[in-house]
Amino acid sequence: MGKKGILTVISGFSGAGKGTIMKELVKKYPYFLSVSATTRPPREGETDGEDYFFHTREEFERMIAAGELIEYAEYVGNYYGTPKAAVEKQLRDGKDVLLEIEMQGGMLVKEQFPDALLLFVAPPSAEILKARLNGRGTESVEEIEKRLQRASEEVTYMKSYDYIIVNNELEKAVEQVHSIIVNEHCRTGYCTELITMMESELTQFAKGD
Amino acid sequence: MGKKGILTVISGFSGAGKGTIMKELVKKYPYFLSVSATTRPPREGETDGEDYFFHTREEFERMIAAGELIEYAEYVGNYYGTPKAAVEKQLRDGKDVLLEIEMQGGMLVKEQFPDALLLFVAPPSAEILKARLNGRGTESVEEIEKRLQRASEEVTYMKSYDYIIVNNELEKAVEQVHSIIVNEHCRTGYCTELITMMESELTQFAKGD
């Protein structure tokens, strides 16, 4: 049996740069990026099946009812969710899977996948977060206010994550996330085969073989 | 208040190469290497206060009684222990501290320092461990047998460690240990200042400041 893949959840405030980090990670390393399902309309340049699976509310609610999502949540009036089957297959095949989801979803993933690695991408300060949201230019003033309000509620989830990645410099943040996942493969829980082999070999030596 | 240092315990079977890894780590990076106290006689080339603090049994037992050791254990007829005061001072000063100790000691450190990072250095196989012990040429045949017997007992501790470092190639093992410790600084528990700052800033924004 091969080694199991690692499921990494990446969350962070809207505007913290987690999407960009994810894109760089899959460009440089062989991660499987789980594509979310959503009912929010595509933004300019977004492709169905690549950025998101875009669905109507009716379709999305059918998927919920059929148990086809690991987690889902409603956020700023739209559904977001994680299709289950593809993630489970990749993990079984030994591939490391990345999930970009908001915090409520992250907590639900942790319940179902207790070995999941939970990473929280944070800006160096709240002031910088605000400036980044303004600079993006894709949202209205009210939308930005809404997102900051949301961030002030989401901040309580930070403590439930395993690691905080301060996104000060993109390249550094990308390498830090990668290095955390690489190291996770040395976690004792992922080395059970090695431990079992050592136990049996050393027991034989102790018997004088 | 500055950031707390990280206490890393490095254990492994005799002959797994943990001593060499430690030496490389302190040569390349600013770690504080805790020097153990022992009653075993110095090997050729070993310096008191550098490799170990060499003590008589009487002196060592006085230190135990005075509570001057974080942990101590008897191993192959000799005492080994970790002087407490120096380690605590370095951690307070924000320095990362490395402790090379055997597994019983590692468990005692974890009890007293629950945040300690426990790393287990393992050879790629038990066969290679045996070959390395033979190749070292500093021990008698009986001594090697004793160490392998001991390893077969110690193997049960592997599961209690946080990470397993397979020492296949020295340079790689050194970088892996270093990277695990660097990442540990991003653990949520070590980022409480950042979280508190975010909470207070975002709460102000939500109030419309």
Please enumerate residues of B whose Cβ is less than 8 A from a Cβ of A: 120, 122, 125-127, 130, 148-149, 151-153, 155-156, 158-166, 176, 179-180, 182-183, 186-188, 191, 194-195, 197-199, 201-206
Three-class HEC string of A170-189: HHHHHHHHHHHHHHHCCEHH
Predicted pLDDT at B46: 94
Closest CA–CA distance from residue B110 to any residue of chain A (Å) = 16
Predicted pLDDT at A209: 59
Rounded CA gap, B188 and A105, in Å?
19
Rounded CA gap, B78 and B57, in Å?
8
Q: Are A79 and A71 in contact (CB under 8 A)?
A: no
Q: Is A56 helix (H, G, I), strand (E, B) or coil?
A: coil
Average model confidence (pLDDT) across chain B: 91
Cα nearest neighbour of B180 on chain A:
A183
Please enumerate residues of A whose Cβ is less than 8 A from a Cβ of B: 120, 122, 125-127, 130, 148-149, 151-153, 155-156, 158-166, 176, 179-180, 182-183, 186-188, 191, 194-195, 197-199, 201-206
Strand partners, B188: none
Residue A182 token pair: 């690489």
Q: Is B78 helix (H, G, I), strand (E, B) or coil?
A: strand
Residue A152 token pair: 């002030």
Name the one residue in this structure whose structure tokens are 């809207």: A14
Phi, psi for residue B168 in degrees, rounded to 5: -100, -40
Yes or no, beta carbons of B162 and A187 under 8 Å apart: yes
Residue B17 token pair: 């190469």
For residue B127, list chain A residues with Cβ-Cβ distance below 8 A: 201
Work out the widest C-alpha separation in chain B, in whole angstroms: 76
For residue A162, list chain B residues with Cβ-Cβ distance below 8 A: 187-188
Say what the pTM is.
Answer: 0.86
Rounded CA gap, B15 and B34, in Å?
20
Interface test with A, best of B164, B177, B196 (most A CBs within 10 A): B164
Predicted pLDDT at B209: 59
Yes or no, beta carbons of A206 and B166 under 8 Å apart: no
Residue of B122, B186, B203 with shortest CB distance to A163: B186
Strands B53-54 and B69-75 turn out to be unpaired
What lies within 8 Å, CB to CB, of B106 at 6+ separation is B9, B11, B118, B157, B160, B161
Rounded CA gap, A43 and A183, in Å?
36
Strand partners, A69: A83
What is the number of alpha carbons within 13 Å of residue A114 lying toward its C-beta?
1
Predicted pLDDT at B1: 42
Rounded CA gap, A158 and A154, in Å?
8
pLDDT in tens, chain A (209 residues): 458 899 999 999 988 889 899 999 999 999 998 888 999 999 999 999 888 999 999 999 999 999 999 999 888 899 989 998 889 989 999 999 999 888 988 999 999 899 999 999 999 988 888 888 888 777 788 888 888 888 999 999 999 999 999 999 999 999 999 999 999 999 999 999 999 999 999 988 877 65
Burial class (CB in 10 A: 0-12, 13-18, 19+), B141: exposed
Q: Where are the alpha helices (DSSP H) in B29-188?
A: 57-65, 84-92, 103-112, 126-136, 141-154, 170-184
Q: Is the pLDDT of residue B13 over 50?
A: yes
Mean of the pLDDT values across residues B21-42?
94
Predicted pLDDT at B36: 86
Predicted pLDDT at A96: 97
Yes or no, beta carbons of B198 and A161 under 8 Å apart: no
Q: Is the pLDDT of residue B2 over 60?
A: no
* Adjacency order of strands within the sheet including B69-75: B53-54, B37-38, B78-83, B69-75
Burial class (CB in 10 A: 0-12, 13-18, 19+), A202: buried
B92 to each of A19, B88, B117, B194, how far by Cα in Å?
37, 6, 16, 19
Provide the residue count of chain B: 209
Average the pLDDT over each of A75-79, B63-67, B134-138, B187-191 and give the range with the smallest value. Answer: B134-138
Rounded CA gap, B45 and B64, in Å?
27
Return left, alpha or beta for A139; rule: phi > 0 is left, psi -120 to 50 is alpha, else beta. beta
Predicted pLDDT at A139: 77
Complete DSSP assignment for A108-173: HHHHH-TT-EEEEEE-S-HHHHHHHHHHH-SS-HHHHHHHHHHHHHHGGGGGGSSEEEE-SSHHHH
Q: Is the pLDDT of residue B203 over 90?
A: no
Of A113, A53, A106, the C-alpha closest to A88 is A113
* Adjacency order of strands within the sheet including A78-83: A53-54, A37-38, A78-83, A69-75
